[in-house]
A and B are shown apart, each in its own frame.
Chain A
Amino acid sequence: MKKLFVALLIAAFAFPAAAFGADTIKIGFNIPLTGDIPKVGEMSKNAAEMLKEKVNGAGGLDVGGKKYKLEFVYVDNEAKPESAVNAALKLIEGEKVLAMVGPQGSARAIPAAEIANNNKTVMVSGWSTNPKTTQGRPFVFRACFLDDFQGPVAAKFASGELKAKTAGVLYDVASDYPKGLAEEFKKAFEGINGPGSVKAFETFTTKDVDFKAQLTKIIKAKPDVLFTPQYYNEVPLIVKQARDLGYKGPILGSDSWGSAELMTLCGDDCKGQYFVTHYAAAGAKGATKEFIDAFNAKFKQVPDDVGALTWDATGMVLAAIQKMGAVSGDLAKDRVALREAMSTMRGFDGITGKMSYDGKTGDPVKCAVIVKINEKGEFAFHESVCP
Chain B
Amino acid sequence: MFDTLIQQAFNALQQGSIYALIALGYCLVYGVLLLINFAHGDIFMVGAYIAFFVASTALGKYGLLPPGMPKWVILAATVPLTMLLTSGVGVFIERVAYRPLRLKGANRLYVVITALMMGIILEYGNLSILGANRLSFPTLTPRMIFEPFGARITITELSTIITSFAVFALLQWIVTKTKLGMAMRAVSYDKFAVPLMGIPLDAVIVFTFFLGSSMAGLAGLLYAMNFPVLDPFMGAMVGWKAFVAAVVGGIGDIRGAFVGGFLMAFLEVAVVAASDYIPFIKPEMRDLVSFSVLLVILTFKPTGIFGKPKTTKI
Contacts and interface: CB of A to CB of B under 8 A. Distances in A.
Contacts of A216: 4, 7-8, 11, 273
Contacts of B14: 212
B154 interface: yes
Contact of A205 (B15, B134, B284): B284
B134 A261 contact: yes
B227 interface: yes
Interface in A191-250: 202-205, 207, 209-210, 212-214, 216-217, 220, 233, 236-237, 240, 244-246
Contact of A217 (B143, B152, B273, B284): B273
Contacts of B143: 244
B284 A38 contact: no
Contacts of B152: 244-246
A209 B229 contact: yes
A35 interface: yes
B282 interface: yes
A33 B132 contact: yes
A322 interface: no
A212 B286 CA distance: 13
A240 B228 CA distance: 10
A213 B282 CA distance: 12
B245 to A, nearest CB: 15
A300 B145 CA distance: 38
A58 interface: no
A172 to B, nearest CB: 9
B127 A34 contact: yes
Contacts, number: 81
A213 B8 contact: yes
B11 A213 contact: yes
Contact of A261 (B133, B227, B286): B133
B231 A217 contact: no
B133 A39 contact: yes
B302 interface: no
Given A210-B11, A210-B15, A217-B4, A38 B227 contact: no
A119 to B, nearest CB: 28
A37 B285 CA distance: 24
A245 B145 CA distance: 9
A36 interface: yes
A205 B287 contact: yes
Contacts of B231: 36, 233
Given A204-B283, A213-B268, A233-B229, A38 B133 contact: yes
Contacts of B234: 209
A204 B7 contact: no
Contacts of B190: none
B234 to A, nearest CB: 8
B154 A244 contact: yes
Interface in A12-42: 33-36, 38-39, 41-42
Contacts of B202: none
A282 interface: no
A244 B4 contact: no
B272 A236 contact: no
Interface in B253-287: 268-269, 272-273, 276, 282-284, 286-287
A42 B134 CA distance: 13
B132 A210 contact: no
A367 to B, nearest CB: 31
Nearest to A173: B284
Contacts of A233: 134, 229, 231
Contacts of A245: 7, 152
Contact of B276 (A35, A41, A217, A265): A217
B229 A265 contact: yes
A261 B230 CA distance: 13
A214 B272 contact: yes
Contacts of A207: 237
B176 interface: no
A203 B11 contact: no
A9 interface: no
A265 B134 contact: yes
Nearest to A32: B132
Contacts of A265: 134, 136, 228-229
A264 to B, nearest CB: 6
B132 A204 contact: no
B131 interface: yes
Given A209-B229, A213-B272, A216-B8, A267 B136 contact: yes
Nearest to B232: A34
A167 B272 CA distance: 19
Q: Could you say which of A41, A174, A244 has the most chain B C-beta atoms within 10 Å of its C-beta?
A: A244
B132 A38 contact: yes
Nearest to A263: B136
Contacts of A204: 283-284
Interface string B206-242: 0000000000000000000001110100100100000
Nearest to A76: B132
Interface in B138-182: 139, 143, 145, 152, 154, 157
A174 B132 contact: no
Contacts of A202: 283
Contacts of A217: 4, 272-273, 276
Interface in A249-272: 261, 264-265, 267
Contacts of B134: 233, 261, 265
B136 to A, nearest CB: 5
Nearest to B265: A210
Interface of A: 33-36, 38-39, 41-42, 173-174, 202-205, 207, 209-210, 212-214, 216-217, 220, 233, 236-237, 240, 244-246, 261, 264-265, 267
9 contacts: A39-B133, A173-B282, A209-B234, A210-B15, A233-B229, A245-B7, A261-B133, A265-B228, A265-B229
Interface of B: 4, 7-8, 11-12, 14-15, 127, 131-134, 136, 139, 143, 145, 152, 154, 157, 227-229, 231, 234, 237, 268-269, 272-273, 276, 282-284, 286-287
Given A36-B231, A213-B269, A267-B139, 4 more contacts: A205-B287, A209-B234, A220-B4, A244-B157
